[in-house]
Amino acid sequence: MKKIILLTATLIICACSSSKNDGDKLIGQTKNKVMKSLGAPVRTLNNDTKGEILIYADQIYTNSHSQNGSTMVGANYWKYMFVYINTEGKVSSWRNEKQEYPPQQIDADKLIGVDNMLSVN
């Protein structure tokens, strides 16, 4: 009986710790640690007087099947991760987003101040 309780408790602890988003682990980390972990961002934006925004992007291609069954490249999109660095050089918040436009077309004015709307853990 003790083994079952111990096993159950272990499973619950493992489930809770693995359910945390990878981005949540970034909160409070320094900019250098983030860049060491994720690599260089594709863009960095100045976030007014609040710090800066590191932008990470992956272009995702989806396959579509044509009528004859062959596979060809279909629609694609960009998967973004925005990491907000405060004036102390630490991550204050982050968010993921999917968009159709490439990183060069990101409107910096729309990103500035968005970190105020995000929940910080």
Judge contact between 52 and 30, C-beta under 8 A.
no
pTM over 0.85: no
Break the chain into its structural domains and give their ranges.
22-116
**Residue pLDDT, tens place only, 68-89:** 555 555 578 999 999 999 999 9
Residues of the chain with pLDDT under 50: 6-11, 13-19, 119-121
Alpha helices in the chain, H assignment, sequence order: 2-18, 31-38, 108-111
